[in-house]
Amino acid sequence: MGYDETYRRSIDEPEAFWREQAALIHWHTPPERILDQSHPPFRRWFVGGTTNLCYNAVDRHLATRPDQLALVAISTETNITREITYTELYREVNTFAAVLGELDVVKGDRVVIYMPNMAEAVFAMLACARIGAIHSVVFGGFAAHNLALRIDDAEPKLLICADAGMRGGKIIPYKPLVDLALREAKSPPPHVLIVRRDLDPDMTLVPGRDVDYAERRVAHEDASVPVEWLESNEPSYLLYTSGTTGKPKGVQRDVGGYAVALALSMTTIFDVAPGQVMFSTSDVGWAVGHSYNVYGPLIGGATSLLYEGLPTGPDPGIWWRLCERYGVRTMFSSPTGIRVLKKQDPSWLKKYDLSALRWLFLAGEPLDEPTATWISSGIGKSVIDNYWQTETGWPAITLLPGLELKPVKFGSPGFPNLGYRMRIIDEQSGADVAPNEKGVLVIEPPLPPGCLTTIWRDDERYVRSYFGHFRELLYSSLDWAVRDTDGYTFILGRTDDVINVAGHRLGTREIEESVATLGAVAEVAVVGIHDELKGQVPAVFATLKQGVTDDPRDVALAMQRRVVELLGGVARPGCVYVVNALPKTRSGKLLRRSLQALMQNTDPGDLSTLDDPNALEEIRAVIARGPHCGASAS
């Protein structure tokens, strides 16, 4: 059965379809009812069924693949690689779970995990899942204030942290940030469990609060901790995402629906079978890290590569060298990661044997066509864009090569994923737009398994934030999109990142893609700035590829001309700045709002997650000198 027939069945006969998919995981108690949508927009999947994420990810594979690698944790920062079989993973998770029990963590308790991409982060997540505790992984290195906000919202029984992380050879102490956060927090946990990496010799422990994991694990190395069987709709974890009010939203995920969705995605989307290898370059603190560094590959009986390090360190061939060494079948990364490599010598793409590599998936931000074309031709592999959000938990728009590979259209993530009832509607009327017309991407309830069930302890905010934008009860992605006559969806950018130029609404993505078609451009970010006449005009910030020696003013003029050529005079950038680097978080996300703040001479916000703390100051100096092209260019 191909994509079209399978997709139609998934939305026309959802209960029959998902009843079949439920067989992909282990149920301690079979579901009594597949779907309960009696209180929309809330819904419950696999009602009455009991299961456990840890059991599905670890225990059930012990009989068939005990000696297969489950997890390979590679750090080019510490030069340590750990190869862990399913049997070894089972032992490590049970040991960690026993330590959690010693610290009085039980079913329903929240546990905040503040760690980099290291094996113990995975052990901690799975140990929480095993005993029914609700983990909340916070991206390692987040500012103390942001960590405190998440602590106060989750009210954890325990915080688990590493002594430090590393980035580009620089040690980033975590424990001082934890200490600051707990001093600020109104609901600090009674204990902090610390996993030492011997990176911060000056770290001090707070007596009575701080616990050294290495000391506690010795007594539990042979532990066998019983699995806590959870009803399908009980919460498995919280993952915080930014909110428009400044207060982070705790996206709440269930157990059974999430497990079934990931099991299905491993075969239909990522085309990874048991025993094969998946390499996701995400951080465990993000949604992709949860789903495809940890739970998805392990539920599918595959081997997962967990990587700590830069895409260019120790050299720009590191990702491909790992693909060769471990026979990676499917790789999952971000467009930003590929654009970083795009600035390097392309010979690195040809240096290693990638015969086992079948697919490169890219997500996390819109994938521009030049970047997709460059990497696809460079490694000679299929590049598949896919679109999803923290809230969806797994791809919402994608191609499904494990089911049927539709032709790739660079610039489009493809078609709605199984179970997603998607529409593109007019922002004002709510009516479906015609093909090739821009509208807001929405999902009709019920959301499929795997998506968020609510916002932690705030059902009203869940309804208001996601279902309160239109007269009809629809989940708003807050993204602009178009669908072409072949049914391919193209994402144009956030509805809240719209530039209104003389009454014309322009998505920043459209302008960025136009600029990116210039061969000299490596990366580009567009923001809207105030204009007395037009209300707003686009401001372009771009970096150039290595080896480009053209005068930046000439390249800037070419960018301006290209935008006019592709989008018309109304989209003409008001100014263009050529810079050495764009401001990004350590996860690779561009900080467009910080650029906008610099242009408006306002507070650029929390800079604690910046990959390069000097980037904004360098850009501030460039802005002070004036644009390379625009009204005030010299």
Q: What tens digit of pLDDT does each residue of 145-178 get?
A: 789 989 999 999 999 999 999 989 999 999 999 9
Paired with 462 in beta bridges are none
Give the C-alpha separation, 329 to 267, whole Å.
Answer: 12
Query: Per mean pLDDT, which range of 225-229, 242-246, 356-360, 499-503 is the poorest?
Result: 242-246
The residue written with tokens 């424990």 in the block is: 175
Over residues 63-79, mean pLDDT: 98
Over residues 229-243, mean pLDDT: 92
CATH no., domain 3-479: 3.40.50.12780
Q: Quick one: pLDDT at residue 600? A: 84
Question: Is the model more confident about 603 or about 572?
Answer: 572
pLDDT in tens, 297-307: 999 999 999 99
Q: CATH 3.30.300.30 occupies which residues in the chain?
A: 502-630
pTM: 0.85
Over residues 590-610, mean pLDDT: 78
Q: Quick one: pLDDT at residue 243? A: 55
Paired with 360 in beta bridges are 331, 383
Provide the mean pLDDT of the chain: 93
pLDDT in tens, 249-258: 899 999 999 9
Give the C-alpha separation, 462 to 430, whole Å.
Answer: 20
Structure tokens at 358: 């079948």
Looking at residue 295, the DSSP 8-state letter turns out to be: I
Question: Is the model more confident about 422 or about 245?
Answer: 422
Which superfamily is assigned to 502-630 in CATH? ANL, C-terminal domain (3.30.300.30)
Residue 506 has pLDDT above 80, yes or no: no
Residue 404 has pLDDT above 60, yes or no: yes
Q: Quick one: pLDDT at residue 244? A: 47
| Integer angstrom CA distances of residue 497 from 173, 508, 510, 511 | 34, 7, 11, 12
The 3-state DSSP class for residue 44 equals strand
Q: How far is CA 131 from the centre of its chain?
A: 26
The number of residues in the chain equals 634
Q: What is Dmax (Cα atoms) for the chain?
A: 72
Q: CATH 3.40.50.12780 occupies which residues in the chain?
A: 3-479
Structure tokens at 370: 């030049």
Do 334 and 364 touch, CB atoms closer than 8 A? yes
How many other C-beta atoms are found inside a 10 Å radius of the C-beta of residue 447? 26
Question: Is the model more confident about 586 or about 212?
Answer: 212
Over residues 604-620, mean pLDDT: 76
Helix axis angle, 14-21 to 256-268, nearest 10°: 80
Over residues 580-592, mean pLDDT: 82
Coarse DSSP helix, strand, coil percentages of the chain, rounded to the nearest 5 percent: 35, 25, 40
Cis before 41? omega within 30 = yes
133 Cβ contact list (under 8 Å, min separation 6):
100, 105, 106, 107, 108, 109, 110, 111, 157
pLDDT in tens, 314-351: 999 999 999 999 999 999 998 888 988 998 999 999 99
Residue 185 has pLDDT above 60, yes or no: yes
Cis before 446? omega within 30 = yes
Nearest one of 504, 510, 475, 340 to 396, comparing CA atoms: 475
The 3-state DSSP class for residue 526 equals strand
